[in-house]
Every structure is written in C-alpha cells, then in structure tokens.
Structure 1
Amino acid sequence: MGDEPLAIDLGSGSPADGDGPRRVWCRLCGRPLTGTASRRTGLGPSCDAKLHPPGPDIRTRRHEVEQDPLPGM
C-alpha cells in the first residue's frame, strides 16, 4: 500500500492538453489570478483584503495616562 503511486500529479499543475499552467480565477470577482499566494487561496489581493481586513493597530489606541506621584517619592 505504501509503494503505490499517487492517483493525482501534485507537481506540474498543468492540464492534460499541455497548454501551460492551469488558469485560476478569483472566487469573489472572477478575475484571473497570477500570484502564487493568490492562486493558493483562490482570492485576489483586493478581494482577500475585503474578506479579511487587517486587525486594529494597538499602537494607535495607546495614550498617556495622568498619574498621581507615588507617596514618598
């Protein structure tokens, strides 16, 4: 069982007719994807940013707090 070849070809990524790399389209807008990461996720950069916005920057929420001096200082 461990010596059997895989049923699918994971390395080439090309179709059976040999036209080159398989075309992948964005699942949200339908545009063709060219980048490796975009092809892997199925979303273009702008559509991925719409679905997964970056988290809030914690540095922008920091502020100075007025504090009374400690007694004895």
Structure 2
Amino acid sequence: MGDEPLAIDIDSAPEKGPRRVHCRLCGRPLTGADSRRTGLGPTCDAKLHPPAPDIRTRRHEVAQDPLPGLDPSAG
C-alpha cells in the first residue's frame, strides 16, 4: 500500500488561489465577493434587478380643508 504510485497526476493539481468565477450573463470574470456569491457582475445584476422606484417621487400634495379647531388663521 505504501509503495503504490499516486493516483493523481502532479500536473493536474488544483491551482493556488481562488477559483475563477464568470458572470452567468456576460461571461466576464468576477472579482468581488458579492458578485462571486451571486454569479452576476454589478452591471448585469443591475440589468436583471433594477432598483425599486422611490416612493417619495410618487407623492403629491392634495388640497384639504383644515381640521375643525385647527384653523391657523384663528387667533
């Protein structure tokens, strides 16, 4: 058992350092930790998941009657 040759080829040893991960959409290499985890680069992630619209841009002022007892002109 101790004299048996190694079962793996020395030239096929795993590379040193992190494994290369490519974007699932465009194929470019990913470097950031978040990008490597999701499998999408920041540009491709923004294309697939656009930010939600800001709710403050949809608000508008509405003319209302003052509440009884809160009339600002009454002294």
**TM-score, normalised via structure 1 length:** 0.70
Q: Computing the radius of gyration over CA atoms, which structure comes out larger, 1 or 2?
A: 2
Structure 2 distance, partners of 1:18, 1:30, is 20
- Residues 72, 19 of structure 1: CA spacing in aligned structure 2 closer, same or farther, 3 A cutoff? closer
Could you list the runs of 5+ residues in structure 1 that have no partner in the other structure? 1-15
Q: Which runs of 4+ in 1 moved over 4 A?
A: none
The equivalent of 1:52 in structure 2 is 49
**After superposition, what is the alpha-carbon deviation per residue over 1:40-69, rounded to whole angstroms, capped at 9, x for unaligned?**
000000000000011110011111111123
Q: 1:72 & 1:42 partners in 2: Cα distance? A: 60
Greater strand fraction, Structure 1 or Structure 2: 2
TM-score, reference length from structure 2: 0.68
The amino acid that maps onto 1:27 is R
Quote the RMSD (CA, aligned, Å): 1.5
Provide Cα deviations, 1:6-28, integer angstroms capped at 9, x if missing partner: xxxxxxxxxx5233110000000
| Structure 2 unaligned residues grouped into runs of 5+ | 1-12, 71-75
Alignment of 1:1-73 (within 5 A): 16-71=13-68, 73=70
